Amino acid sequence: MPIPHSTPRRRAPRIVPLLALLGIGLCASAAHAARPNFQMPFACNQTWYGDTYPGHGLRYAVDLNHKPRPLSDADLGSPIVASAAGKAATYNPHPGTGYGKLVVIDHGGGWTTWYAHLDSIAIANGANVAQGQKIGTLGKTTRPGNSISAHLHYEQRLNNDDQKIVWNGSTIVYDQYEVAYKSRNSCGTAPGGVAGTVRTSGSALNVRSGPGTTYSVVDSLANGSAVTIRCQKTGETITGTYGTSNIWNNVGAAGTNKYIPDAYTFTGSDGRVAPDC
């Protein structure tokens, strides 16, 4: 449930997008297509704080930070993931506006999501992306002469008309600052945890009693094994199939410790997808 906070805070100068400069196809029909099952643009179970206010460029846009106060650049570089599957257009930067580095995902039926002020873009222009896939990192890029703190500016549009933002079936709170939201993006459907798959070069993966290779081996999992991630813990940094990470996944039943490196686990997200152990 969202937790409203009443204390206002200052944000960057408003931004006014110019559709004429945007080179993706949008449906011209006035008919309202079914809204995709949009999720927050962050990994499962992460809590982020949203600001909405009159005069914010587009009325229904939201600015998002991981911490409510004070405004800072502490979130710089945080992973941003796709709210739903679609085809991405990338801009580095978006011309003539204050969006800076921008990703726009076309979800079909006239629906698009917009991710602005990115520090980096992780996908190619025209790429097809999956829900929960990393598309970039949070930043503070904007037009020359502007100065803003790091945050994600996020929009949902239908036929390029600004829409109230809906995540996981619930409309966000408007005209409030620092409202807390918890992501359910790519949380999976496995009972008691998050679904994952072991991906190695073919060899079996050791299961450890703790989050590192100095812990004892308690089991092994074949390449392609389905697992349920109950919780995650920071530990030894490992380089594997999905890059370098210090996240370890507890795939044991409640009350047990059976850890595998996240770097060898497919979850659909580059960030955390389960609660801390």
Tell me how far the alpha carbon of residue 194 is from its chain's centroid.
16
pLDDT at 58: 87
DSSP secondary structure letter of residue 13: P
Q: How many structural domains is the chain composed of? A: 2
Asked if residue 187 is part of any domain, the answer here is: no
Asked if residue 108 is part of any domain, the answer here is: yes
Q: Are residues 103 and 48 in the same domain?
A: yes
Asked if residue 250 is part of any domain, the answer here is: yes
- pLDDT mean over 108-115: 97
CATH classification of the domain holding 226: 2.30.30.40
The answer on pLDDT for 67 being more than 90 is: no
Asked if residue 274 is part of any domain, the answer here is: no
Find the domain containing 210 and state its range: 194-266
Q: Are residues 167 and 36 in the same domain?
A: yes
Q: Are residues 95 and 201 in the same domain?
A: no
Exposed, middle or buried: residue 136 (CB in 10 Å: 0-12, 13-18, 19+)? buried
Q: Are residues 17 and 124 in the same domain?
A: yes
Asked if residue 90 is part of any domain, the answer here is: yes
The whole model's pTM is what? 0.61
Least confident of 88-102, 170-184, 190-204, 220-234: 190-204
At 227-268, the pLDDT tens digits run: 988 888 999 999 999 999 999 999 988 778 999 999 999 987
